[in-house]
Structure 1
Amino acid sequence: MIRRRTLLAMLASTAIPATAAARRLEPDFLVPLMNAGKLPTAAGRLPKNPRVVDLAAMGRDVGKYGGTARMLIGSAKDIRLMTICGYARLVGYDDKLDLSADILESYEHVDEKVFTFKIRAGHRWSDGRLFTAEDFRYCWEDVILDENLRKGGLPTDLLVDGKPPRFEVIDELTVRYSWDGPNPDFLPRLAAPQPLTIVMPAHYMQQFHQKYQNANRLAGLMKEQRTKSWVDLHIKMSRSYRPENPELPTLDPWRNTTKPPAEQFVFERNPYFHRVDQNGTQLPYIDRFLLNVSSSSIITAKACTGESDLQATGIDFADYAFLKDAEKRYPVKVGLWKATRGSKIALLPNLNYGDETWRGLLQDARFRRALSLAIDREEINKVVFYGLARPSSDTILPDSPLYKPEYAAAWSSHDPDAANRLLDELGLQNRDSDGIRLLPDGREAQIVVETAGESTLDTDVLELITDHWRKIGISLFIRTSQRDVFRSRTMGGQIMMTMWPGLENGVPTRDMNPSQLAPTTDDQLQWPVWGMHYLSNGQKGHAPEVAEAARLVELLKSWYHARTPEERTDIWGEMLAIYTDQVFSIGIVNQTLQPILRSAHMRNVPERGLYGFDPTCYLGVYMPDTFWYGEDIA
């Protein structure tokens, strides 16, 4: 079966009216460069067939050029937010989470085995050089297949049954990737917040590659960039997800102009960005973004004093009252979007914990169910979330087409009597003088929950859960640990349980990878050893000894080879049912609300939306390149 997504199929407006094309407005920001002969007009900067964004169909207004938007970031690393929120992808999601061509003019695939990509004629990188099949070829042959640059082997996303694709350049504007088996995750990975890299600006990157650069010049560049090898140099200069190299050409709507270290990063409009509105006006509307580095702890305070024009990260629902109060004193507006996490926070019992007695309990579903049933989620919702969240297991939201109410209800009601019965069944009937249950070896049933200590939310919730669990004879102790050591300590069996955000993607479709429900990586804190076993193809860690966890891995493998949409839906359903029934993570509440602060003069920012890292890319699927300033531009 051949499926084709073209520009004509995905847009209501199929062409730019000739009269509109003739009267394209130019941003004042670019006029000096055009007057100096350093830039062509929009007609010379745009692809022959740009992507047309029909704002009317999206319920938005056609905007106008100009303005600078300020954002606050917690560290210089957070400049990656411009890559995430800018959300220019070869293939990307829209706000309905449907995939379509974006940077690509079109794509087609045959049974998800053979993918053919068509590049827009005349599409250019931000430095004005043409974007062609050579940029795909360079990335494949000279980067991905280079053993020096890929010492860990090919990205797993490019392997099907352990085998890489066959790559072909069909012509200057067409490339093809072919596998013998289906690779249903290929397009979603290209649309991801941190997308799979299969294209690079070859004309720029070749100067840092030993195949194309003479040794003396390469040594000089290594010294200039303070790197020890040409490999380190190439990696440093090619980093696009965290765009620290101002010279690196990009296809994003804005490009970084500031070299770190810096306290302020300036992103300016990409003169060659490939999207236009329905009138033929080149996007983005906003000229610049200023990202000001600030301590994470005071981002809310600064946002409340009008120091940000567009802020979503660094603020939380707990700050909502302060943010709304700022509307009275500063020209800002605050909306509430629905967070897409499966649970705002969740308890993750480490099924690979080093203590044999505790590991046996934690691996027993009855114990996990008892802990879940003992939690009074309604109380937590009222006390911590003002009753605006939804008590639930750690699972997907009603906004997902895969949602079923029984997933949310699984072992998430408050039933301490049932919890006590389950614990008695486990042989934990004996208690000490304080009413705390005793383990078979005589120790008190004391659970240590570790948190990153980055928010008072964790502590507030855990203090309530401490009271809930004490009523069933379980002690809870809170320990603060460093985020960057969680992975190694959990992997080493040193952490019994963590409090961590729930499932990343709470709004999946059947065509999105369900790997978050199975042990697949070593940073899944409830089963890191099993995840490492999957990640290393059996070379490290060990396979799950819990049958239901092993079944999740089998189902995931089946999803990759499913032949019909119905099969994928069924696999998702079985995995969700197992995950929630087994309580592999203990959810608390979901459908929490995320404040989105914007300048009162900024237009086209939706009042409501879905907010999360994956798959919505924070603000990304809502196209910040279409945001614009009305009167009194900031």
Structure 2
Amino acid sequence: MRRTSLLKLAAGVAFGFILGLTPCARAAELKVLRYAFPIAETGFDPAQISDLYSATVVSNIFESPLTYDYLSRPIRLKPQTLQAMPEVSADFRTFTLRVKPGIYFSDDAAFKGQKRELVAADYAYSLKRHYDPRWKSPRYAALQGEKISGMDELRQRATKSNQPFEYDTPVAGLQVLDRYTLRIQLDRPSPRFEHNLAHSGISGAVAREVVEAYADTIMAHPVGTGPFYLAKWRRSSQMVLERNPNFREVYYDEQPAAGDAEAQAIALKLKGKRLPLLDRVEISIIGESQPLWLAFQAGDFDLVAVPYDYANLAAPGGKLAPNLAKRGMRLHKALRADLVFTIFNMEDPVVGGYSPEKVALRRAISLAYDTDEEIRRLRKQLAVPAQGLAPPETFGYAADFKSEMSEYSPAKAKALLDMYGYVDKDGDGWRDLPDGSPLVLQQYTQPDSSSRQFSEQWKKHMDAVGLRIHFNISQWPEQLKQARAGQLMMWNLGNTSTRPDAEESLVMAYGPAKGEDNLVRFALPDYDRLIERMRALPDGSERAALIKEANRLLVAYMPIKAHVHRIGLSLTQPWLTGLKPHPFMNGFWRFIDVQAPAGRDKPQG
């Protein structure tokens, strides 16, 4: 009893009890999923967000026309708000979507007391918002590359005239044929376009009257057709979502692979149950690993992404610890479709630029950093080295591809720096710029203990080759604003793919996306041409060769230092069922069930 009380006290210091109720009182009333994000959200407008944690919330509120079957492997697209899969022309340029009648948005004052039905025009409007310069959409580059007929012209007129975006101007690429039918027309073939229609951050349906009602505060007012709505939000502290009473009748019908016993057991247990299975989702922000781990151990969270500091306790040798297995907990482990990387601002006067000495500096920094040590010491072997920007589980990823991205050679780093004039000119022990002015690397990071450990590793390796590095500490959302404005020199990031294709990662260096997806501000015509050729081809050997060549250009110029692809390690409490981590789907809360909630706060053993 005393042990449990101490654990709950430690957790309570970190995040407090939500809504002022004790966990047992809440659990007796409702089915509640509780867990934590390690990094604060930025907001909840699909057209403006790009971070994983905001996207996770958004994907449970807003619905795209398509989705992925949660249990199917290999992955499979299926209709979400459509009557059937889109009708696709033979040349992959025309996509006809037919929306199911009778789907409604959650209630909001913007609807003036009326039930608001989802219609085809909502999807047309939501896609147009990414082209509106007002919203600075990080997804604009992905859509711009799809060449929706007439949309580039609308964007250019708004940009040049500095006038409001022309939402009501008809365009050939987005034709609302009737109340429930939308035809999307592209100027070029796009064999993978349908994956945009399964991404809530790109095609999640937003009602125009809601955006116009809340204007610049729309990030705080998400109103969608999904299974949950945002009931409470304390920025960077707490999010509470509740079941959307307007959500239509949907029943669990996910299709597991024939040989996947775990998925088959989930499907057997949940098949036919009405979704969502939960009444509420409560999320806390806990940046420090110790209180997060203690809270999960105390039963205050239902699932946890295991912090690196506790990986060996949770899964020694990659297997669930016996003491946790005895308590009925379950381990979920998988190589994730993600990438951890460091960006260099290509417009920064110190590390940016395309001249040989600037390229040499970035390559030397990369060679001086020991990725294997990061994996071994900081990530507890829960990662593999990244050789390029293509993540696992995506077309274009080649497990046997090797490059300088993962090479650790202080000797080569020193030789490059010496060759291009980065030597100590004033005798203070630190290398200077070739013109004799001080060379100081400025890296931006967050205030949590995990970030501090990574900063210490960076400093150790930069010190070893004579490069002075300073760390600028602030919150992640603020740094994102600075990065979009081109104000950061170096920044460490992680990106989780939302589709089974490497293009989403490679576009982070695509010139036309500068300041949006392209936070690096890289602009190389040869690279841009590769991306454009790659987009038009069906999957195959020719396209794979172009992806490999794009990766080689990034290694040569090093605007991005790829570090690792992470291995996800999650634990669930014995009373939680339904979790089967999907490589590209964040909107999984509707499939989670919480059983025997009255005992969930009493750790066993």
TM-score, normalised to structure 1, is 0.65
Name the residue aligned to 1:286: 277
Q: How does 1:19-98 map onto structure 2 within 5 Å?
A: 67-72=31-36, 77=43, 81-85=56-60, 88-94=63-69, 96-98=74-76
| Residues 372 and 594 of structure 1: CA distance in aligned 2, closer, same or farther (over 3 Å) | same
Q: Which of the residues 603, 614, 619 maps onto 2:577? A: 603
Q: Distance between the aligned counterparts of 2:436 and 2:294, measured in 1?
A: 50
Query: Helix, strand or coil: the match of 2:378?
Result: helix
The structure with the larger Rg is: 1
Q: Please show how residues 18-417 of structure 1 align to structure 2 within 5 Å.
A: 67-72=31-36, 77=43, 81-85=56-60, 88-94=63-69, 96-104=74-82, 105-110=84-89, 111-120=91-100, 135-137=119-121, 140=124, 156=140, 157=143, 159-160=148-149, 162-163=152-153, 164-170=171-177, 173-182=180-189, 186-197=193-204, 200=207, 205=209, 232-233=212-213, 235=215, 244=221, 248=223, 250-257=224-231, 265-268=240-243, 271-277=247-253, 281-284=272-275, 286-293=277-284, 296-297=287-288, 298-312=291-305, 316-320=307-311, 327=324, 332-343=329-340, 346-355=341-350, 364-405=358-399, 407-417=401-411
Offset at residue 272 of structure 1 (A):
1.4
Question: In 2, distance between residues paired with 1:382 and 1:371?
Answer: 20
Q: Secondary structure of 2:86's match?
A: strand
- Could you tell me which residue of structure 1 aligns to residue 489 of structure 2? 496
Q: Write the distance in 2 (CA, Å) between the matches of 1:347 and 1:301.
A: 31
Distance in 2 between residues matched to 1:370 and 1:264, nearest whole Å = 43
Gaps of 5+ in 2: 1-29, 44-52, 108-113, 154-170, 255-267, 316-320, 601-605
Question: Given the superposition, is the C-alpha separation of residues 83 and 283 from structure 1 closer, same or farther in structure 2, using an over 3 Å criterion?
Answer: farther
Residues 552-607 of structure 1: CA distance to partner in whole angstroms, max 9, x if unpaired? 2222233344467555434323212222343221233x23333423221222323x
Contact (CA 8 Å) 1:334, 1:597: kept in 2 or not?
A: yes
Query: 1:38-96: per-residue Cα shift (whole Å, max 9, x none)?
Result: xxxxxxxxxxxxxxxxxxxxxxxxxxxx8332334657957863432578431123464
1:626 aligns with 2:602: no
Q: What is the TM-score normalised by the length of structure 2?
A: 0.67
Aligned-residue offset at 1:414: 2.1
Shift of 1:296: 4.3
Q: CA deviation at 1:108?
A: 1.6
Quickly say closer, same or farther: Cα 1:551–1:81, change in 2 above 3 A. same
How far apart are 1:502 and its partner, in Å? 4.3
SS of the residue 1:252 aligns to? coil
Q: Tell me which of 527, 536, 553 is aligned to 1:552.
A: 527
Aligned residue number for residue 507 of structure 2: 515
* One-letter code aligned to 1:602: L
Distance 1:516 1:323, change over 3 A: same
Q: 1:290 to 1:195 in 2, by over 3 A?
A: same
How much does 1:101 deviate? 2.4
- Specify the SS of the correspondent of 1:596: strand
Whole-angstrom CA distance in 1 between matches of 2:352 and 2:231: 53
Letter in 2 for 1:274: V
Conserved? CA contact 2:311–2:380, under 8 Å: no
1:473 counterpart residue number: 466
Partner of 1:585: 560
Q: Within 1, Cα distance between the matches of 2:365 and 2:87? A: 48
SS at match of 2:528: helix
Tell me, yes or no, if structure 1 residue 460 matches structure 2 residue 453. Answer: yes
- Segments of 5+ residues of structure 1 without an aligned counterpart are 1-65, 209-230, 531-543, 611-615
**1:370 positional shift:** 2.0
Q: Distance in 1 between matches of 2:495 and 2:231?
A: 35
Aligned length: 496
Other structure's SS at 1:458 match: helix
- Deviation (angstroms), 1:116: 0.6
Contact 2:413 2:465 in 1 (8 A): yes
Shift of 1:183: 5.3
